Amino acid sequence: MVSKPITVNFNALYPIFMKVGLGNLIVSAVAFIVSAMAASVFAAVSVFIGTAIGIINLSIMARTVKNGFLFKPDKAHLFIMKRYYIRFFATIFVVGVLVSKNLANPVGLIIGFSIIMSATMASTIYFAKKELV
pLDDT of res. 22 = 83
Q: How far apart are CA 32 and CA 71, in angstroms?
A: 40
pTM over the 0.75 mark: yes
pLDDT of res. 7 = 64
Write the DSSP assignment of 9-55 as a string of letters.
-GGGGHHHHHHHHHHHHHHHHHHHHHHHHHS-HHHHHHHHHHHHHHH
Per-residue pLDDT tens digits for 7-32: 666 666 677 777 777 888 888 889 88
Per-residue pLDDT tens digits for 115-128: 988 888 888 788 77
Q: How far apart are CA 22 and CA 63, in angstroms?
A: 18
Per-residue pLDDT tens digits for 33-65: 998 899 889 999 999 999 999 989 988 988 888
- Mean pLDDT computed over every residue of the chain: 85
Q: How far apart are CA 6 and CA 69, in angstroms?
A: 6
Give the orientation angle of helix 73-100 with respect to helix 106-132, to 10 degrees: 150
